[in-house]
Amino acid sequence: MRVLSALGAGAVLHLRVSALTPMAVVSSSLTPVGMGLLLCAGAADRGVAGQQLVSIAFIAVWGTMLVQSVIAVVQERNWGTMAMLATTPSGIALPLLGRVFAAAVHGLLSAAVVLLVLLPLVSTTDVLGLGLVTLVIALVGYAGVTLAIVSWIVRHRYASGGVNGLFELILLFSGAFVAMSALPAGLRPVGYLFPSVRVADASAGTLAVQLLVSVAWLAAGLLLLTGASNSVRKTGKGFLQ
Amino acid sequence: MRQALRRAGDVATVAWLSYRALFTWLNPVGYVANRLVQPVAVATLYGVFVSELTGRTFPTLVGTAVLALASAMMFGISMAIANERQFGTLEMWIASPQTFVAGLLARAVPHVVDGVLAAVLSLGTSMLVFHVSVPAAYFLVAVPAFAVIAYSVTGASLLLAAYAVWSRDSLGGPNVFKLVLTVCTGSVVAVSLLPVRLFGLPALLPLTAGQQAAKEALIAGRLDGGSLVRELVVGTVYLALGSGAIAWAFRRVRVSGLVAFR
């Protein structure tokens, strides 16, 4: 019960704060719209296909989740509430987990809006069923990636600025824009560390592997966040370095 | 003469302090990620994507280098305002007799240099990744294009800085504007390939003509005078609008005593 209460408090707070900064909401919805327009380049004649819809939904959800989660940590620091949370029985991890969850919900809403806007352009939904499965599996993994990044900036206060560079870098390996085979050869091995939203590469076998990779990321993210919370509570280093 | 030197010294001190505070040099993760990793990641992401789409990579690599320059300047100058607010020095700056536009331009200087470095690094690294080579003389031809782009983006950055004075949300403005530049100027993908019609919007934006001139210079080694003039005109309009907006925001703050209106 105590766990749910801390998670819920973090989630509710995050949604309230987001409502207070509408530019952040607009910005998080515009990123998938802008990137979606690029992804659909050349589709004026042939129409938008299933893969493009899956990629746009992925960018909407993960982009919002990542950016807002990082902002959540920065806000808690700036408000002075992170130090207070560290001393409460719940620690930092649970309220932050709640905020990451709320950011994901926010991302899902953004995805729904963006997909509705793009609906008139859609010509084929051939891979949409398989695409949805691929998307859900990938998002589980990218939630883990987000938690790992959040735990990094909980431990290192000056690392928050570093996240800007990570978004496009990880997007490169996600399959949202291009297939792994199109990447320069030197970059391909890194791509296998991340779940892919490439529907063309999805089969029963590859989806099972993707699921394993995603669950591994989620477990690692949860462990890292718990570790960061404990470290900050015990050493206070997260407020210094 | 002595007064001019002292003034130049003041400008340099303000610029350096503002710049040093921005990226927290004690831990340069933010700098490396924003100025080194991000431009190269963007160039690789869009380079591979457009190569699949059209079979041509190099125009997009030039376009992303131009975007790296614009991004460094827009975010840097907006963040300069945000940091003054965070450190509690915005009020003192506003109350000081220094002209706000001059103070802001002083803070902009390091970001122009930084943006040029980001553009060079983005282009250089992506050319290595994609095995593209360009005659050295072409880079000299491209210098006026990048200079005019820096000029027009300075105007746009002043507008965004005025927004950062007016609002506490200093990142929303540059984020949205960067996205608009990425999609609507043809830097990444030709506007004609987009699935929606943009009507006259691209012509009203900085970078549309400038990136065309930069591509012409680096791909064909030609100086595209028409595009340079168009970019110069758009930049001058933005500079006038930006200076006016900053002056307006400055007056509003002084009269009302509020350092943010939302």
pLDDT (average), residues A112-128: 76
A41: nearest Cα among B201, B188, B178, B40: B188
- Which residue does chain A place closest to B176, by CA atoms? A27
Is B53 an 8 Å CB contact of chain A?
yes
Helix (H, G, I), strand (E, B) or coil at B169: coil
Read off the DSSP letter of residue B23.
T
Q: Which two tokens stand for residue B195?
A: 């699935």
Residue-wise pLDDT tens digits, A57-109 = 999 999 889 988 888 888 888 888 888 888 888 788 888 999 999 989 888 88
- Per-residue pLDDT tens digits for B60-86: 999 999 999 999 899 888 888 878 887
Nearest chain A residue (CA) to B43: A168
User: Which pLDDT tens digit goes with each residue over B97-109?
Assistant: 777 777 778 888 8
- For the entire predicted model, the pTM comes to 0.86
Mean pLDDT of B238-247: 91
pLDDT at B28: 74
**Are residues B176 and A42, on separate chains, in Cβ contact within 8 Å?**
no
Share of chain A above pLDDT 70, in %: 90
Contact B69/B146 with Cβ under 8 angstroms?
yes
Asked if residue A126 has pLDDT above 80, the reply is: no
Residue B248 has a pLDDT of 87
Task: Please report which confidence band the pLDDT of residue A39 belongs to, taking 50, 70 and 90 as the band edges.
Answer: confident
* ∠ CA A101-A107-A111, rounded to 5°: 145
Interface predicted TM-score (ipTM) of this complex, two decimals: 0.84
Whether B45 and A172 lie within 8 Å, measured CB to CB: yes
What residues does each domain of chain B span? 2-256
Question: Token pair for residue B180?
Answer: 């608009």
List of residues 6+ apart from A84 with CB closer than 8 A: none
Contact criterion met (CB < 8 Å) for A41 and B34: no
| A241 contact residues in B (CB cutoff 8 A) | 27
**Three state DSSP letters for A73-133:** HHHHHHHCHHHHHHHCCCCCHHHHHHHHHHHHHHHHHHHHHHHHHHHHHECCCCCHHHHHH
User: B176 and A156 in contact by Cβ < 8 A?
Assistant: no
Q: What is the pLDDT of residues B124-135, one digit of tens each?
A: 999 998 889 999
